[in-house]
Structure 1
Amino acid sequence: MNPLKRLASQTAIYGVSSVLGRFLNYLLVPLLTYSFAPQSYGVVAEFYAYMGFLAVVLTFGLETGYFRFRNSDAWAPERVYGTVVQTLLVGNLLFLLGALLASEPLAALLRHPEHPEYIWWCAAILTTDALGAAAFARLRAEERAARFAAIKLLEIGANIGLTVFFVGLCRPAFEQDPNSFLGALWDPAIGIGYVFIANLIASLIKLGLLAPQLRDGLGGFQGTLFRSLIRYSAPMVVIGLAGIVNEMLDRAALKYLLPYDDATNLAQLGIYSACYKLSILMALFIQAFRYAGEPFFFAYARERDARAVYALVLNWFVICCVLIFLVVSLFLELFGLFVGPEYRAGLDVVPILLIAGMLLGVYVNLSIWYKLTDRTLLGAGVSLIGAAITVVLLWWWVPIHGYVGAAWAHLVCYASMVVLSYLLGRRYYPVPYEIGRVLGYLALGIGLYLLAQWLTTKANGSSLTVGGAALVGFIAVVAATDGRRLLRRSVRG
């Protein structure tokens, strides 16, 4: 099969589980933001930000290491997989035990002393997800995208169903009659904590479905291979942590950086996090692309036309990202209905976050230079520079500009990482990217958005009409200038 067609088909299947599945999960946002005040929703955002950091550490970077060593001639794929699974199993069980023993002091440190159970539940979710990551990596490497998607969708469906059950059914039943069957299942003291409970149950269901893959990894541990895997993968943890700093530090730090009391800071965090969800389409597309793209880039690297194909992939990727940016930003009034009225004060940050996400996607494409040349330490350096920019800008801008400063910190960080990665890639793994066209697509999308904003606010145009015209205009320009050329090259066998 044509490599671009194979990548596109794999991305589409993974998209069913990540884009469609998480989009369905995104539909929980109205339920939660209409049911809970911003302060309560801020608690969920805060803990999931912490979990984002820990999730990177607890997978030890072994997903990328698995792909790298599985495709080498030195080790049998089964031996690589067994070493990865057993490393994750031992490391995560030790983490879970430590979290259980230290839950009360940790809860007090995070200013939630009355809820040490949040620590227990989040630690259990992290452990199950880390173990599941190894099994999912094997499914991706074997191109069993359908099974991958089915299990992901079942997990997401369980999470959605349980959250709706607890918050949408048990909570109202308790308010009407605490002694009813459903009402008895709701404990007001837990409140927003039912979100964690639903997630944990869904993660355990997922782990049960992945049991056959995990069972295959319980043998074949190799000490020499383990040391090689850790040497290769450890910088990926640094890269991942730096990436999480760039992606989630704002939600972990807003409570401490905003110049108000804890309750107000949590409410501001809740507003920002709910509006952040409105940029989720960009993040989901990038995630689906990552799932399919990482094994594809490794597997296709030995082909003669690999670099030309990688350049064409970036062109298509940017066009799709700009299209997503326009769909969400031009029709933001409609997307804003997905959050409760108390949360809509933060809608202005959504276009900024969409552009930042677009730049992150470009960086994901450009980062193949260090993965394919084993220069992961240099890749870690780029991510660390981005993380440093994020930390400085959050510390500087959030106390002055609030959560808007956090959104701009995202954009500046990813723009800097794109430039650094491109320059380093030109030296270590040159790819003939068509930079002029890529920048042209980005400028066209942003320009159409700004023009639509001006026509809507200054010329009193209908936002839906103007937005629709701008969207059609983008598609028409791309089709006229590049559509035939890109299609002709993508179908060439």
Structure 2
Amino acid sequence: MSLRQLVSQTAVYGLSSIVGRFLNYLLVPLYTYTFSTGEYGVVSEFYAYAGFVAVLLVLGLETGYFRFRQRPEFDGERVYCNVLSLLLLANLAFAGGVWFWQEDLAAWLQYPRHPEYPLWFAWILALDALSALPFAKLRAENRAWRFAGIKMAEILIAIGLNLLLLLLWPKLAAIWPDSAIARYYDPQVGVGYIFIANLAASAAKLLLLLPQFRAVPFVLERAVLAPVLRYSLPMIVIGLAGMVNEMLDRAILKLLLPYDLQTNLQQLGIYGACYKLSVLMTLFVQAFRYAGEPFFFSYAGRADAKRAYALVMQYFVIAGVSIFLLVALFIDLFKYFIGAEFREGLTVVPILLIANLLLGIYVNLSVWYKLSDRTGLGAWVALAGAGVTVALNILLIPEYGYVGAAWATLVCYGFMVLLSWGLGRIYYPVDYPLAKIGYYFLLGLGLYGADRYAVAHYQWDVWLCGGFGMLVYLVLTYWLDLRPLFRKGRI
């Protein structure tokens, strides 16, 4: 894959993710206008738990597949068959175990009246884990459009079912209370209808991926799986530590906040909804990860690989800061995507945007341990970051609530960026343009700070002030970095 292909495929992944997730993002108003803060807190909590379990179920084998499919001593299809067979076995065992212990799990999670919630989520996670490797195969084969099409189909199905189950069905049941429609509608399911919609969408996604399962024999060969697992299993630690950094705050807020259970769930719902407002940065990082991982591995053998990685980092930061400014400067527009009772948490949005930008920088920096086969050392970096997250959440949440959780996320990713950069200088040194990166960070923060000061102290119009700040950033970016790039014909 060339640098131009990286840009184009990031655009495809990004466009599909942004369009699809934006459509999915439109469900946030549906949820936050339909359910109370406490009810939405249940959704936030379950999806926080799901992040941890999803990492375990994939076993780090996506990255292992990318690494070993190009090894001369292995056949790519042979690696794929073995890894897919292992994932099928592991996920069926997981779903069966949850089915057997669903009531105990529901009681442990403090939802004894809804033992179906853990079971539904188990199947969502198992189906998504089984889909992970076929998606990785599509990425490895540079089939970005098929990847994007299936992702879009999944999201559209989920959206349609959410609208059906949360809007249309209850209205029809109210209009015809004696009909079969009303008889089968159960308002006690509540937010469970969100889980049902997502389960059906995950099942449809797996059906669309059936061509990637066709003629794949069930085979478990020690000669293949042993080296792949040795490389991949540290990725579980890295992934779990990443989930600690990304999801722990929402998983433990209701336990650490010093209020009663209902109030804690309300605070969790507010934080979870406001977290959604940083979705554009999250989508950008995700799209880059989809395209970047195959690019890093395919480009590794070239003489100019490190120079390319440095250039990628520079333009990643430029794009990331522009997304930060877009959301932060126009937060008075984005806030309408969540219900009024959730907006008291808007102060965390700029913090979370910067935190997720730092996460994207860490993804860029992770090239050092992936290409030097030091995934074990990379796991220690992730564990160190997780330790910072745990300590700061325990320290800050009881005192500062969800604002403390947001700051814990920011500090953690900043720490991981510094640690990963330092180790990269030892094991796989890349001359990243630190001065240029620092300049764009300071420019973005300076424009945001000036905007907030002008609006608060001089009562300047928020739209004109935000538009001016965005224009200044785009003009400076074009003049200093994009214009020379276009002239040289690199884009």
**Structure 2 partner of 1:390:** 389
Give the Cα–Cα distance (whole angstroms) in 2 for the partners of residues 471 and 216 of structure 1: 52
Shift of 1:48: 0.6
Cα distance change on mapping 1:97 and 1:220 into 2, 3 Å: closer
**Structure 2 partner of 1:405:** 404
Q: Deviations over 1:32-81 (max 9, x none)?
A: 10011011111011001111000000000000000000011110001000
Shift of 1:18: 1.9
Shift of 1:173: 2.8
**Structure 2 partner of 1:141:** 140
Q: Deviations over 1:459-481 (max 9, x none)?
A: 11011100000000011111222
Give the Cα–Cα distance (whole angstroms) in 2 for the partners of residues 14 and 32 of structure 1: 26
Q: Secondary structure at the match of 1:458?
A: helix
**Structure 1 partner of 2:259:** 260
**Structure 2 partner of 1:89:** 88
Unmatched runs of 5 consecutive residues or more in structure 2: none
Give the Cα–Cα distance (whole angstroms) in 1 for the partners of residues 174 and 125 of structure 2: 32
How does 1:244-393 map onto structure 2 within 5 Å?
244-393=243-392
Query: Does the 8 Å CA contact 2:320/2:357 hold for their aligned counterparts?
Result: yes
Q: Which moved more, 1:228-237 or 1:214-223?
A: 214-223
Query: Does the 8 Å CA contact 1:79/1:221 hold for their aligned counterparts?
Result: no
Shift of 1:212: 1.6
How does 1:102-113 map onto structure 2 within 5 Å?
102-113=101-112
User: What amino acid maps onto 2:327 in structure 1?
Assistant: V
Give the Cα–Cα distance (whole angstroms) in 2 for the partners of residues 490 and 353 of structure 1: 35
Cα distance change on mapping 1:221 and 1:38 into 2, 3 Å: same
**Structure 1 partner of 2:426:** 427
User: What amino acid maps onto 2:78 in structure 1?
Assistant: R
Q: Secondary structure at the match of 1:491?
A: coil
Give the Cα–Cα distance (whole angstroms) in 2 for the partners of residues 199 and 175 of structure 1: 24
TM-score (normalizing by structure 2) = 0.98
How does 1:444-455 map onto structure 2 within 5 Å?
444-455=443-454
Give the Cα–Cα distance (whole angstroms) in 1 for the partners of residues 16 and 216 of structure 2: 24
Query: Does the 8 Å CA contact 2:85/2:219 hold for their aligned counterparts?
Result: no
Query: Does the 8 Å CA contact 1:52/1:248 hold for their aligned counterparts?
Result: yes
Query: Does the 8 Å CA contact 1:172/1:183 hold for their aligned counterparts?
Result: no
Give the Cα–Cα distance (whole angstroms) in 2 for the partners of residues 82 and 489 of structure 1: 44
**Structure 2 partner of 1:63:** 62
Shift of 1:181: 5.1
Shift of 1:491: 1.1
Query: Does the 8 Å CA contact 2:313/2:361 hold for their aligned counterparts?
Result: yes
Aligned length: 491
Query: Does the 8 Å CA contact 1:282/1:354 hold for their aligned counterparts?
Result: yes
Shift of 1:5: 1.3
Shift of 1:180: 4.0
Cα distance change on mapping 1:489 and 1:51 into 2, 3 Å: farther
Shift of 1:170: 1.1
Give the Cα–Cα distance (whole angstroms) in 1 for the partners of residues 447 and 215 of structure 2: 52
Unmatched runs of 5 consecutive residues or more in structure 1: none
Give the Cα–Cα distance (whole angstroms) in 2 for the partners of residues 175 and 463 of structure 1: 43
**Structure 2 partner of 1:124:** 123
**Structure 2 partner of 1:210:** 209
Q: Secondary structure at the match of 1:215?
A: coil
**Structure 2 partner of 1:225:** 224
TM-score (normalizing by structure 1) = 0.98
Query: Does the 8 Å CA contact 1:82/1:216 hold for their aligned counterparts?
Result: no
**Structure 1 partner of 2:439:** 440
Give the Cα–Cα distance (whole angstroms) in 1 for the partners of residues 42 and 245 of structure 2: 20
Give the Cα–Cα distance (whole angstroms) in 1 for the partners of residues 345 and 289 of structure 2: 29
Shift of 1:14: 1.2
Q: Deviations over 1:403-438 (max 9, x none)?
A: 000000000000000000111111111111100000
Shift of 1:222: 2.0
Give the Cα–Cα distance (whole angstroms) in 1 for the partners of residues 87 and 216 of structure 2: 11
Give the Cα–Cα distance (whole angstroms) in 2 for the partners of residues 287 and 315 of structure 1: 17
Give the Cα–Cα distance (whole angstroms) in 2 for the partners of residues 23 and 228 of structure 1: 40
Give the Cα–Cα distance (whole angstroms) in 1 for the partners of residues 177 and 338 of structure 2: 28
User: What amino acid maps onto 2:63 in structure 1?
Assistant: T
Query: Does the 8 Å CA contact 1:173/1:180 hold for their aligned counterparts?
Result: no
Give the Cα–Cα distance (whole angstroms) in 2 for the partners of residues 226 and 490 of structure 1: 44
Give the Cα–Cα distance (whole angstroms) in 2 for the partners of residues 192 and 16 of structure 1: 29
Query: Does the 8 Å CA contact 1:169/1:182 hold for their aligned counterparts?
Result: no
Give the Cα–Cα distance (whole angstroms) in 2 for the partners of residues 160 and 18 of structure 1: 14
**Structure 2 partner of 1:20:** 19
**Structure 1 partner of 2:472:** 473
Give the Cα–Cα distance (whole angstroms) in 1 for the partners of residues 261 and 487 of structure 2: 57
Shift of 1:179: 2.9
User: What amino acid maps onto 1:430 in structure 2?
Assistant: P
**Structure 1 partner of 2:28:** 29
Give the Cα–Cα distance (whole angstroms) in 2 for the partners of residues 386 and 489 of structure 1: 39
Shift of 1:220: 4.9
